[in-house]
Amino acid sequence: MNILYVHYGDDGLRGSEQCLLNLLENCEQMKVTPVVWTNNLSLCQTAERLAIKTIFSEFSVLLGWQKPRWNFVAAYKQVQQGVDLIKQHKIDLVHCNSAAPTQWMQIACKRCNTKLLTHLHAPYPLRDRLTLGIANADKIVCVNDQIALQCFDDGVHPDRVTQISNGLDLSKQTQRFPMNLKQQLGIKNQKKLLITVASLQQEKGVDLCIQALAKVNSQQTVHLAIVGEGPERDQLMGLAKSLNIAQRIHFLGASDIVPSLLHANVDGFICGSRAESFGLAIAEAMLAKCPVVAPKVGGIPMLVKHQQTGLLYQAQDTAAFAEAIELLIEFPAQGKQRVELAYQHVRDNFSMDQHIQRFLTCYQNLLADSKDKANKLWPAYMRLFKLMCKVTA
pLDDT class for 11, splitting at 50, 70, 90? confident
pLDDT higher than 90, residue 57: yes
Let me know: does 16 contact 121? Beta carbons within 8 Å.
yes
pLDDT tens digits for range 149-206: 999 988 899 999 999 999 988 877 766 777 889 999 999 988 999 999 999 999 999 9
Question: Strands, DSSP E only, in the chain?
Answer: 2-7, 33-38, 53-56, 93-96, 115-120, 139-142, 161-163, 192-197, 222-227, 249-253, 268-270, 292-295, 311-313
Q: What is the pLDDT of residue 376?
A: 46
Task: List the one residue out of 69, 284, 62, 248 whose CA is nearest residue 170.
Answer: 284
pLDDT tens digits for range 294-326: 999 989 999 999 999 999 999 999 999 999 999
- What value does the mean pLDDT take over residues 87-98? 96
How many whole angstroms separate alpha carbon 259 and alpha carbon 101?
A: 34
Q: What is the mean pLDDT of the chain?
A: 90
99: burial class by Cβ within 10 Å (0-12, 13-18, 19+)? buried
Domains in the chain: ranges and CATH:
2-167+353-392 (3.40.50.2000), 170-349 (3.40.50.2000)
